[in-house]
Structure 1
Amino acid sequence: MEKEKRTPVPQTEILTLGMGCFWGPEALFGHLPGVLYTRTGYAGGTTGSPVYRQLGDHSETIEIEFAPSVITLEQLLEMFWNHHNPSVINGYKGRQYHSLLFYRNEQQRCTIEQMQQTAASAVRSKSSKNPASSESAGTGNSGAIDPDGIEKRRMTEIQPYDTWYPAEARHQKYYLQRQHRLMEQLYELYPDQAELFHSTLAARLNGFSRGHITLAQIRQDIPQWPLSEHHKYRINQWLADQQDEQ
């Protein structure tokens, strides 16, 4: 189809984060309603022009552009902390895998730090009422962190956003790219690979390829996408055809 025509979005924000290998998080966040675009890349270090095999002191990260009127920063941060364990990934492969949050403005910084402190206050209050809980809330035989997640939140490194380097094409929408038949048919809609990877449809299908969402759920979400009605119709019909083939 012709080049995708996007409609203005009232307001979007970008959250940049690291939580280990970037393939899984891009699929996890990409399936969420309100998330418009995702991409993988490298950040957090000082090495110039990092690439996958030569990251230097950078970490694998993802960027998430989202509409806060649909999904809030707080919801994304809860998803972030609930789906990885910094005590496991921090230090693994040096800095390649690291729990990171980058704030782009003072409001993001305050929100991130407030959520950390709120969790800390809740755990301290719980421990003061039941001293034994402070002993049992740490690591058990399984090595799991306490249920409130305070320890893992404290281990997340918070940095101001600086330079961000996009990852190579083979690392964008990784799980979607493994669906070879689906990719071949997608190029009928998006002949340009860069345009495909920077589309809401690709973000959702990457989540679908990882098992986070169904094609029917993607179709229900299309009305919220910042596209012309013509392109929404074309994508909806294309997805309907994919459902029929399954």
Structure 2
Amino acid sequence: MFLIDMFNKKTVMPDPAHALPGRETELPTAETHFVNGRPLKGPYPEGTEQILLGLGCFWGAERLFWKTPGVHVTAVGYSGGFTRNPTYQETTTGLTGHTEVVLVVYDPRIVTLESLLKLFFEEHDPTQGMRQGNDIGTTYRSAIYVYTDEQKRVAEAMRDAYQASLDRAGRKTRITTEIMDAGPFYFAEDYHQQYLAKNPGGYCGLKGTGVACIA
């Protein structure tokens, strides 16, 4: 019974008052992108924009976006929760409230936000709530954290377009993707950054619904 209770807690957002406290200092992480050598924390080129995208395990999700033309740099980390500067081990308890996300810094003159969000919706299952496939817990929930009102408008429009695509395909599920203003983003530890470039045979849990997003 104890084990069941502990498992269930991981699929429910914690009360902020009882979330883990974290720490004041940032976790050490990589300085540059393992694939393209660009600074993870900037400065980023003038004209680029940022968005935070959660598609389940961030290892495979990050690779999806660093391979996309027009994306300047990517990094993985934690957002959407309450604990300051959490460690990976802390997030997996379900007591920080964070989800695993990819920071995507992109040039909108080369790749549109609509194109990035089409990838987002097609390459994972945004209807699963607090899980992605066999990855279960609040850290694997689908999320889009935006920095501007325009990004929120586009995100909501793309969500609605994908829901319509699912409906036309006869799916009976509803999208659970969290769309919110971006809060603090905490860079994950060094070994998580560009993990699948460093470990080509590593785990990737990305799996879409097989339904195309027709906006």
TM-score (norm 2): 0.64
User: If you compute each CA radius of gyration, which structure gives the higher value, 1 or 2?
Assistant: 1
Shift of 1:113: 1.0
C-alpha spacing 1:119/1:21, structure 2 compared with 1 (3 Å): closer
- 2:186 — aligned with what? 165
Shift of 1:9: 4.2
1:65-80 alignment runs, 5 A limit: 65-80=105-120
Distance 2:99 2:44 in 1: 32
- Is the contact made by 2:128 and 2:176 (CA closer than 8 Å) also made in structure 1? no
**Counterpart amino acid of residue 78 in structure 2:** Y
Match of 1:116 among 159, 162, 166: 159
**Counterpart amino acid of residue 19 in structure 1:** L
C-alpha spacing 1:86/1:172, structure 2 compared with 1 (3 Å): same
Shift of 1:87: 3.3
Higher helix share: 1
C-alpha spacing 1:85/1:34, structure 2 compared with 1 (3 Å): same
**Regions of 4+ moved over 6 Å:** 3-8
Measured against aligned partners, the alpha-carbon deviations of 1:154-205 in whole angstroms (never above 9, x if no partner) come to: 31111110101000000001012226xxxxxxxxxxxxxxxxxxxxxxxxxx
Measured against aligned partners, the alpha-carbon deviations of 1:101-127 in whole angstroms (never above 9, x if no partner) come to: 001011101111122234456677x6x
**Counterpart amino acid of residue 27 in structure 1:** R
Please state if 1:47 is matched with 2:99. Answer: no
Structure 2 unmatched runs, 5+: 1-36, 205-215
Please state if 1:15 is matched with 2:51. Answer: yes
Q: Percent identity?
A: 31
Structure 1 unmatched runs, 5+: 127-132, 140-144, 146-150, 180-209, 211-246
- 2:70 — aligned with what? 34
Shift of 1:10: 5.0
- Is the contact made by 2:62 and 2:76 (CA closer than 8 Å) also made in structure 1? yes
Distance 2:53 2:196 in 1: 19
**Counterpart amino acid of residue 136 in structure 2:** K
Distance 1:120 1:156 in 2: 11
Measured against aligned partners, the alpha-carbon deviations of 1:136-165 in whole angstroms (never above 9, x if no partner) come to: x125xxxxx6xxxxx3xx311111101010
Shift of 1:64: 0.5
- 2:19 — aligned with what? none
- 1:204 — aligned with what? none
- 1:138 — aligned with what? 171
C-alpha spacing 1:69/1:84, structure 2 compared with 1 (3 Å): same
Distance 1:30 1:4 in 2: 11
Q: How many residues align?
A: 156
Distance 2:129 2:198 in 1: 25
RMSD: 2.9
Please state if 1:104 is matched with 2:147. Answer: yes
- Is the contact made by 1:30 and 1:37 (CA closer than 8 Å) also made in structure 2? yes
1:192-231 alignment runs, 5 A limit: none
- 1:58 — aligned with what? 98
- 1:202 — aligned with what? none
SS of residue paired to 1:76: helix
- 1:95 — aligned with what? 138
